[in-house]
Structure 1
Amino acid sequence: MKKFFLPALLSATVFFCSQCARNPVTGKKQIVTMSTEQELAMGQEGDPQIIAQFGLYEDSALQRYMNQRGQAMAAISHRNNISYGFRVLNSPVVNAFATPGFVYFTRGIMAHFNNEAQFEGVLGHELGHIAARHTVIQQRNATLGQVGILAGAIISPTFGRMMESASQGLQLLLLKNSRDAEREADELGVEYSTKLGFNATEMADFFNTLKRQGEQSGQELPNLLSTHPDPGERNATVSQLATEWKQKTGLTNPKVN
Structure 2
Amino acid sequence: MRQCFSFKRFFIGILFFNVFMVSAAQAGIISTKQEIAIGQSAVKQIETQYKLVDDPVLQERVSKIGRRIAAVSDRPNLPYTFKVLDVDEVNAMALPGGFVYINKGLTDCMLTDDELAGIIGHEIGHIVKRHSMAQLEKTLGMAVLMGGLFGGREIGAEMIALNAIAAGYSRSDEREADKLGFEQSVKAGYNPYGSLIGLMKLAELNPDVKSDLFSDHPEAAERIKLMQQYLEKKHIYPTIIEDISTASAQVVDGSWSLPPIKISAEKLTPCYRAYLTAGRLYQIARQPDYSADHYILDTDGSNMSIYYDDNLLITLMPEDALAAGTTLEELTKKYVETLKKWRIDT
Deviates more, 1:136-145 or 1:198-207: 198-207
**Aligned equivalents of 1:96, 1:220: Cα separation in 2:** 9
Kept in 1, the 8 Å contact 2:118–2:198? The answer is no
What is the SS of the residue equivalent to 1:50?
A: helix
Equivalent of 1:235 in 224, 228, 236 = 224
Please say if 1:63 is aligned against 2:55: no
Alignment-derived partner of residue 129 in structure 1: 126
RMSD between superposed Cα atoms in Å? 3.5
Please say if 1:53 is aligned against 2:49: yes
**Aligned equivalents of 2:218, 2:63: Cα separation in 1:** 28
C-alpha distance 181-174 of structure 1, shift in aligned 2 (>3 A): farther
Please say if 1:178 is aligned against 2:170: yes
**Higher helix proportion:** 1
Relative to the length of structure 1, the TM-score reads 0.70
Question: What is the correspondence of 1:70-89 to structure 2 with a 5 Å cutoff?
Answer: 70-89=66-85
Equivalent of 1:109 in 81, 86, 106 = 106
- The C-alpha deviation readout for 1:52-95, integer Å capped at 9, x for no partner, is 21111000011111112211111100001221111011101110
Aligned residues: 212
Bigger Rg, structure 1 or 2: 2
Kept in 2, the 8 Å contact 1:76–1:192? The answer is yes
Alignment-derived partner of residue 201 in structure 1: 193
Alignment-derived partner of residue 253 in structure 1: 282
- The C-alpha deviation readout for 1:2-49, integer Å capped at 9, x for no partner, is xxxxxxxxxx99x56xx7xxxxxxxxxxxx331110000111111121
Alignment-derived partner of residue 27 in structure 1: none
How much does 1:121 deviate? 0.5
- The C-alpha deviation readout for 1:131-164, integer Å capped at 9, x for no partner, is 111121010111223345559xxxxxxxxxxx79
What is the SS of the residue equivalent to 2:29?
A: coil
C-alpha distance 228-174 of structure 1, shift in aligned 2 (>3 A): farther
**Aligned equivalents of 1:135, 1:228: Cα separation in 2:** 24
What is the SS of the residue equivalent to 2:52?
A: coil
**Aligned equivalents of 1:41, 1:48: Cα separation in 2:** 11
Greater relative contact order (Cα < 8 A, sep 6+): 1
**Aligned equivalents of 1:220, 1:49: Cα separation in 2:** 21
- Identity among equivalent positions (%) equals 31
- Structure 2 unpaired stretches of 5+: 1-22, 149-155, 237-278, 285-310, 313-346
Deviates more, 1:100-109 or 1:226-235: 226-235
C-alpha distance 228-142 of structure 1, shift in aligned 2 (>3 A): farther
Kept in 1, the 8 Å contact 2:203–2:217? The answer is no
**Aligned equivalents of 2:172, 2:204: Cα separation in 1:** 23
What is the SS of the residue equivalent to 2:45?
A: helix
**Amino acid in structure 1 at the alignment position of 2:56:** S
C-alpha distance 171-114 of structure 1, shift in aligned 2 (>3 A): same
Kept in 1, the 8 Å contact 2:94–2:127? The answer is yes
**Amino acid in structure 1 at the alignment position of 2:181:** G
**Amino acid in structure 2 at the alignment position of 1:111:** D
**Amino acid in structure 2 at the alignment position of 1:253:** Y
Kept in 1, the 8 Å contact 2:122–2:177? The answer is yes
How much does 1:253 deviate? 1.4
C-alpha distance 67-146 of structure 1, shift in aligned 2 (>3 A): same
C-alpha distance 36-89 of structure 1, shift in aligned 2 (>3 A): same
